[in-house]
């Protein structure tokens, strides 16, 4: 048989197979939408970048929140006020906290129209969260030495954050000195010494058990003599409820103020995201003691409590400078409000990620 006679038949078979695959795919997308699940889209290079990494870090928080919200949106005939109320509940469950959830929902409510569109709701949440989180650019060292005091309760990630921060400054061409003012634990200065060695920073340390104020004093003198650009002061973890320890921190700050005019240029409070709302209490007490100027929120990887970022920014008014998303040296990222809101409520403009296509959710209008 002439092979050219086969061509129309082959085309017909391929068309049938292609059509069937399309129908299956379409059905799957429809089913996932009906179930309130995002249909999977192939990852593009842009999605695999920084935004995608943050989305995967915040997936646990986001998933919990989305599941709850999509369940609400699937119920037909809900009055808008009921939907809005349940959005507030979902936000509270994601550790956003009551006052912040209320503030966010009231801003979102003003922008919603009836009939309520699912996409419009997600976009309003994303937009208002970004606005709530917005902050000016983080300060860059403008004087030498630029002194940063790093504080926080035990085990939140202060020393690790200092190591990561030092690596960033060094990569940007600055000379960095680490000061081991955590003289409380014998191993603390060893841990900082490992980081100093690893990233190529100078280190000033004393023997364990000494006076932290004396280490800071020596560290600052060394920084001036060696023309260091950035000094990062590691302090002992302390319970915010222990008054003598908080007084010791005030003393450390006074030493810094006395030795270098205008310093500390930044007082960072490190908070562990896994502690959720407790982070707010810690932040209040540290702020009273040492005038915290910026927050580093660590351990956002592996927690479903990422919503606490909104509470911290809204209730304390302190800007979030960096977020910790893992234990590795590169796992410290400057905080970007838009990117963060997108990771929580958006999906890079991908409607499916944001909870489905532009579906009109059948809800009743507000009562007149």
> Which residues bind to Mg ion, rule: CB under 5 A?
158-159
Residue 126: CB atoms within 10 A of its CB come to 21
Tokens 């902050």 -> residue = 135
Q: Is 2 left (phi over 0), alpha (psi -120 to 50) or beta?
A: beta
Partner in contact with 29, chosen from Mg ion, ligand GTP, none, beta carbon below 5 to 8 Å by kind:
none
Tokens 């400078």 -> residue = 321
Whichever of 211 and 364 has its CB closer to Mg ion, that residue is 211
What is the x/- site pattern for ligand GTP, positions 170-189, by CB under 6 A? Answer: ------------x-----x-
Q: What minimum distance in Å lies between the beta carbon of 307 and ligand GTP?
A: 17
Burial label for 6, CB within 10 Å (0-12, 13-18, 19+), is exposed
Q: Interface with ligand GTP includes 346 (CB under 6 A)?
A: no
Q: What are phi and psi of 163, to 5 degrees?
A: -60, -45
Of the residues 55, 158, 169, 253, which one makes contact with ligand GTP according to CB under 6 A: 158
Of the residues 53, 62, 159, 183, which one makes contact with ligand GTP according to CB under 6 A: 159
Per DSSP, 319 falls in state P
Partner in contact with 156, chosen from ligand GTP, Mg ion, none, beta carbon below 5 to 8 Å by kind:
ligand GTP
Instruction: Write the CB contacts of 283 (distance below 8 Å, at least 6 apart in sequence).
Output: 269, 271, 292, 295, 312, 316, 318
Partner in contact with 157, chosen from ligand GTP, Mg ion, none, beta carbon below 5 to 8 Å by kind:
ligand GTP
Taking alpha carbons only, the member of 185, 134, 192 closest to residue 165 is: 192
* Near ligand GTP in 182-221, by CB under 6 A: 182, 188
Q: Interface with ligand GTP includes 324 (CB under 6 A)?
A: yes
Partner in contact with 155, chosen from Mg ion, ligand GTP, none, beta carbon below 5 to 8 Å by kind:
ligand GTP
Is the bond preceding 115 in cis, omega lying within 30 degrees of 0? yes
Stretches 20-28, 96-104, 259-267, 319-327: which one binds ligand GTP (CB under 6 A)?
319-327
Q: What minimum distance in Å lies between the beta carbon of 152 and ligand GTP?
A: 6
Whichever of 160 and 183 has its CB closer to ligand GTP, that residue is 160
Distance separating alpha carbons of residues 327 and 332, to the nearest angstrom: 9
Taking alpha carbons only, the member of 357, 289, 305 closest to residue 123 is: 357
Q: What is the largest CA-CA distance in the chain?
A: 98
Stretches 245-253, 256-264, 296-304, 345-353: which one binds ligand GTP (CB under 6 A)?
296-304
Residue 278 CA to chain centroid, in angstroms?
Answer: 16
Q: Are 60 and 304 in contact (CB under 8 A)?
A: yes
Partner in contact with 347, chosen from ligand GTP, Mg ion, none, beta carbon below 5 to 8 Å by kind:
none
Q: What minimum distance in Å lies between the beta carbon of 187 and Mg ion?
A: 9
Per DSSP, 78 falls in state E
Whichever of 159 and 298 has its CB closer to Mg ion, that residue is 159
Q: Interface with ligand GTP includes 356 (CB under 6 A)?
A: no
Q: What minimum distance in Å lies between the beta carbon of 182 and Mg ion?
A: 5
Contacting positions for ligand GTP (CB under 6 A):
152, 154-160, 182, 188, 237, 298-299, 301-302, 324-327, 331
């Amino acid at each position: 048989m002439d092979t050219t006679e086969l061509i129309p038949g082959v085309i017909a078979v391929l068309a049938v197979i292609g059509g069937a695959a399309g129908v299956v795919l379409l059905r799957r997308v429809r089913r996932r939408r009906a179930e309130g699940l995002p249909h999977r889209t192939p990852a593009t290079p842009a999605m695999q970048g920084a935004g995608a990494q943050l989305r995967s870090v915040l997936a646990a928080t986001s998933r919990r929140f989305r599941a709850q919200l999509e369940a609400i949106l699937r119920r037909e005939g809900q009055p808008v006020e009921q939907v809005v109320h349940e959005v507030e509940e979902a936000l509270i469950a994601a550790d956003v906290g009551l006052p912040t959830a209320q503030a966010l929902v009231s801003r979102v409510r003003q922008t919603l129209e009836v009939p309520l569109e699912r996409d419009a709701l997600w976009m309003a949440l994303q937009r208002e969260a970004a606005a709530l989180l917005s902050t000016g650019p983080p300060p860059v060292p403008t004087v030498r030495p630029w002194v940063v005091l790093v504080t926080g309760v035990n085990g939140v990630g202060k020393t690790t954050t200092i190591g990561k921060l030092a690596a960033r400054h060094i990569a940007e061409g600055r000379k960095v000195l680490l000061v081991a003012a955590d003289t409380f634990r014998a191993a603390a200065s060893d841990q900082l010494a490992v980081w100093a060695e690893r990233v190529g920073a100078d280190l000033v340390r004393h023997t364990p058990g000494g006076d932290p104020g004396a280490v800071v004093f020596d560290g600052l003198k060394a920084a001036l003599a060696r023309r260091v650009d950035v000094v990062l002061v590691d302090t002992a973890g302390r319970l915010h409820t222990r008054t003598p320890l908080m007084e010791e921190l005030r003393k450390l700050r006074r030493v810094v103020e006395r030795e270098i005019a205008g310093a500390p240029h930044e007082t960072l409070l490190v908070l562990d995201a896994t502690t959720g709302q407790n982070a707010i209490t810690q932040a209040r007490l540290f702020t009273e003691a040492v005038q915290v100027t910026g927050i580093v929120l660590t351990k956002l990887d592996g927690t479903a409590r990422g919503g606490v970022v909104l509470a911290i920014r809204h209730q304390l008014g302190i800007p979030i400078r960096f977020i910790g998303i893992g234990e590795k040296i590169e796992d410290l990222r400057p905080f970007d409000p838009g990117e963060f809101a997108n990771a929580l409520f958006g999906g890079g403009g991908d409607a499916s990620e944001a909870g489905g296509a532009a579906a009109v959710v059948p809800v009743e209008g507000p009562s007149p």
